[in-house]
Amino acid sequence: MPAPGPDVLVGIGDDVAVLRDGPDQVWLATCDVQVEGAHFLRNAITPVDLGRKSLAINLSDIASAGGSPKFALISLGLPDDLPVEFIDGLYRGLRSEAEHFGTEIVGGNISGSKFGLFIDIFLLGKASRENYLLRSGAQVGDQILVTGTIGDAAAGVALLQTPPSVADAAYAEVARSRLNTPTPRVQEGRLIGESHLATAMIDVSDGLAGDLGHICERSNVGVRLEANKLPVAAANRSLAQIVHGDEWHFALHGGEDYELLFTAPKAHAMELSSRINQATGTPVSIIGEVLPQEESRQLVLPAGQVVPLATFGWDHFKEKA
């Protein structure tokens, strides 16, 4: 692989590519796809929600770099049997999500697809050069923070297969909605970038443990996560216990949360957490600490027992670059 050129500040290996844009600004470029059968089932999500989610997962990548989404290109692969109403709904969802997050759809491509539907999106965002954040940069002693709650989307997936009777009905609705209409933390990400208090950031798409593993790899650090500080609904833990025999399974290994996972020096973590919460209403939890790399990745269970944090994620196959 040739070395990146002078205008490429970050190439393959992070959630976004970072491209120089004059002396002070950068472009952030990312793409992510939703493929029928692999990422969604056509009968388990409405076309509008599918449109929204397809853009949301890309907005989340720009947010995770502390940037502002600007321009989207939409590449659609449409099977012959897809009703025109479905396509209309898909576009409505794409447009409403774009408008909500100040993003302009500037082009794209429509192609036939013999077998299944796919929605592939290319998103360009902007950030000032001193604000953007990467997976690398976490320092030993930093605290680990996460927005919102985690594990809900994975519970939503489980509930597609498991009789809903095992779950609290109200929570089942929450889980389904978190799976089908995730909220990208765009404002939160921008504020975290602008604060200059965070050291590394990623969005939780592959599962908290897996994505924290990405920060560890790129920052050359270890981590200690405290299970009882994880922002996980009680109903989520019960369902994970029933389905996987492990109450932390969805929270740690679920994926598709699209929350922001970031690190900040101990002296600033609490301040950053409350600043984001006050500005956006989104809760921010401090869930662990960055360790030297040789201490590896640890999970402290509620009773105090320390176990290795397995970092297998949502989908082994998916390797974001």
Q: Where along the sequence are the contacts to a second copy (CB under 8 A)?
A: 1-2, 4-5, 7-8, 11-12, 14, 16-17, 19, 21-22, 29-33, 35-39, 70-71, 73, 75, 77-78, 95, 99, 104-116, 118, 120, 122, 124, 315, 317-321
Name residue 27's beta-bridge partners.
19, 126
- Give the Cα-Cα-Cα angle 48, 54, 55 (nearest 5 degrees): 100
Instruction: Report the C-alpha gap between 289 and 223 in whole angstroms.
Output: 6
Q: What minimum distance in Å lies between the beta carbon of 43 and a second copy?
A: 15
Q: What minimum distance in Å lies between the beta carbon of 44 and a second copy?
A: 15
Judged by beta carbon, residue 115 or residue 312, the one nearer a second copy is 115
DSSP 164-212: GGGS-HHHHHHHHHHHHS----HHHHHHHHHHT---EEEE-SS-HHHHH
Judged by beta carbon, residue 20 or residue 275, the one nearer a second copy is 20
Q: Which residue has the tokens 């952030």?
A: 28
Q: What minimum distance in Å lies between the beta carbon of 68 and a second copy?
A: 12
Residue 271 Ramachandran class (φ > 0 left, ψ -120 to 50 alpha, else beta): alpha
Q: What minimum distance in Å lies between the beta carbon of 197 and a second copy?
A: 27
Q: What minimum distance in Å lies between the beta carbon of 70 and a second copy?
A: 8
Judged by beta carbon, residue 83 or residue 308, the one nearer a second copy is 83
Is the separation of the CB atoms in 25 and 71 below 8 Å? no
Judged by beta carbon, residue 72 or residue 221, the one nearer a second copy is 72
DSSP 243-300: HHS-TTHHHHH------EEEEE-HHHHHHHHHHHHHHH---EEEEEEEEEGGG-EEEE
Judged by beta carbon, residue 71 or residue 177, the one nearer a second copy is 71
- Residue 112 three-state SS: strand
Instruction: Report the C-alpha gap between 64 and 212 in whole angstroms.
Output: 13
Q: Which residue has the tokens 């176990």?
A: 307
Judged by beta carbon, residue 110 or residue 242, the one nearer a second copy is 110
Q: What minimum distance in Å lies between the beta carbon of 84 and a second copy?
A: 13
Q: What minimum distance in Å lies between the beta carbon of 157 and a second copy?
A: 15
Q: What minimum distance in Å lies between the beta carbon of 105 and a second copy?
A: 7
Judged by beta carbon, residue 179 or residue 230, the one nearer a second copy is 179
Which residues fall within 8 angstroms of residue 99, CB to CB, at 6 or more apart?
Answer: none
The first and second tokens of residue 44, run together, are 């388990």
The pairing of beta strand 297-300 with beta strand 221-226: parallel
Judged by beta carbon, residue 34 or residue 199, the one nearer a second copy is 34
